[in-house]
Amino acid sequence: MGTSLSPPSRIAHLEDKAPTVSTLCSHSSLQIFHGARREGFRTLGITPGPPPRFYEAFPLARPDRFLEVPTIRALPEYSDELRRDGVILVPHGSFVEYLGPEAFTRLDVPVFGNRAVIEWESDRRKERVWLESAGVRMPKRYETPDEVDGPVIVKYYGAKGGKGFYLAKNRAALERFQPTGPHVIQEYVLGTRYYIHFFYSPLSKDGYRVGSGSLELLGMDRRDEANIDELYKLGAQEELHRVGLEPTFVVTGNVPVILRESLLPQIFDIGSRIIERSIELFGGMVGPFCVEGIMTEDLQFKVFEISTRIVAGTSLFISGSPYSDLREPGLSMGRRISQEIHRARDAGRLSEILS
Ligand code: ATP
């Protein structure tokens, strides 16, 4: 089911109306509002129920206004009002997840980026088709337990917030696994995790050229994940299993990282391939995306996931990162999004960055 308005009619009014940058008050919203304010935009925070009190503590990031909705699922009912106010919605992981990927895709409100990407990201199988056909190296996927020839991680379909994954160090250990739903068996990659924050601008004509625009590297982080990160302190996995302790990957925070400079060509190559293939498959991904993978000891980066919008780890770099500072000192991902809106509006090219 599509939206009731075509993309051009959803966006046309923004050519002569001052836009308001808006998102759901959660995830990376502080950074999105802060960046929008620095670019001179009005801001609107969407909250299910009263605004969270902690916004009072961050005056530079607090949105100018709040829209209280009874539940996030009721948001589509406010579409006309949001369009009248010149709102541009900035998607983030929690926004898309809580509203539901399909409902988000159908919203009759201008959205930053190409909403067609949601369909390709929210289905693990389609995501793999996209990345593998782009020539990106991914962890091996086993069709049956019999094929398993090393350590594996078993993941259920649909986000479970990092819970319910199963680790097995070999085929014999996998036999103990009792699936409770559709899942995939994936090679467990041994190495170091990096979450790479890219921005693709279809408007830019300078920098690292990809497609008709350019690819920017704005930062990198590693996620703190409970309880897996510290579980080793309790000893070997089998012992832990025997006492009923299973690993989980619930994200609790983020730490900044950088890569060896000699690995940057590999990372840019991966980012470019993902963009080029997205242009062929669904008209291209626009704006922030995060490539999540593991660097092995033979320096091969294996991508286990892509997030096709701003990720929470970018909030480490509200006043710039070791990478974004080399483009423009103090540039955050939140500000970069609003900068792109500015540029597109000035050039009469909003339809290329909104959907
Ligand atoms: P989210 O939606 O929060 O990104 P998810 O449910 O889609 O999570 P993944 O991102 O695929 O799950 O994986 C969660 C975590 O599991 C990763 O951050 C990483 O620590 C670990 N992980 C995932 N795949 C692998 C793999 N193939 N080898 C080793 N570790 C992995």
Angle between helices 29-38 and 333-346 (to 10 degrees): 40
Question: Using an 8 Å Cβ cutoff, are 3 and 68 in contact?
Answer: no
Q: Is the pLDDT of residue 16 over 90?
A: no
247: CA distance to ligand 1 center in Å? 12
Checking if the pLDDT of 230 tops 90, the result is: no
Q: Give the DSSP per-residue string, 310-329.
A: B-GGGGGGTT--TTGGGTST
Q: Is 41 a pocket residue for ligand 1 (Cβ < 6 Å)? A: no
Q: What is the mean pLDDT of residues 263-292?
A: 98
64: pLDDT strictly greater than 90: yes
Ligand 1 atom closest to Cα of residue 225: 20
Model-level pTM?
0.94
List the CATH code of the domain at 8-135+191-225+256-352.
3.30.470.20
Question: Is there an atom of ligand 1 within 6 Å of 127 CB?
Answer: no
pLDDT band at 150 (very low <50, low <70, confident <90, very high): very high
pLDDT tens digit sequence for 70-119: 999 999 999 999 999 999 999 999 999 999 999 999 999 999 999 999 99
* Secondary structure class of 4 (helix, strand, coil): coil
* Spatial CA neighbour of 311 closest among 93, 113, 23, 35: 93
Q: How large a percentage of the chain has pLDDT more than 70?
A: 97
Q: Is residue 142 in contact with ligand 1, taking CB distance under 6 Å? A: no
Query: What confidence tier does 1 reach under pLDDT thresholds 50, 70, 90?
Result: very low
What per-residue confidence (pLDDT) applies to 315? 96
> In terms of pLDDT, which residue wins out, 36 or 249?
36
**Composition of the chain by helix, strand, coil, percent to 5:** 40, 25, 35
Q: pLDDT tens-digit profile of 169-225?
A: 899 989 888 888 888 999 999 999 999 999 999 999 999 999 999 999 999 999 999
**Three-class DSSP category at 283:** coil
pLDDT tens digits, one per residue of 168-184: 889 998 988 888 888 89
Q: Mean pLDDT over residues 218-239, rounded?
A: 84
DSSP 130: H
pLDDT score for 49: 94
pLDDT digits (tens, 9 = 90+) for 108-139: 999 999 999 999 998 888 999 999 999 999 99
Q: What gap in Å lies between CA 15 and CA 181, rounded to an integer? A: 48
Q: Whose CA is nearest to atom 21 of ligand 1?
A: 249
How confident is the prediction for the chain on average, in pLDDT?
93
Atom 12 of ligand 1, residue of closest alpha carbon? 162
Domain residue ranges of the chain, discontinuous segments joined by +: 8-135+191-225+256-352
Residue of the CA atom closest to atom 10 of ligand 1: 305
pLDDT higher than 90, residue 244: no
DSSP letters along 219-267, please?
EEEEEEEEEHHHHGGG--HHHHHHTT----EEEEEEEE----GGGHHHH
Ligand 1 pocket test: which of 137, 192, 305 has the largest number of ligand atoms within 8 Å of its C-beta?
A: 305
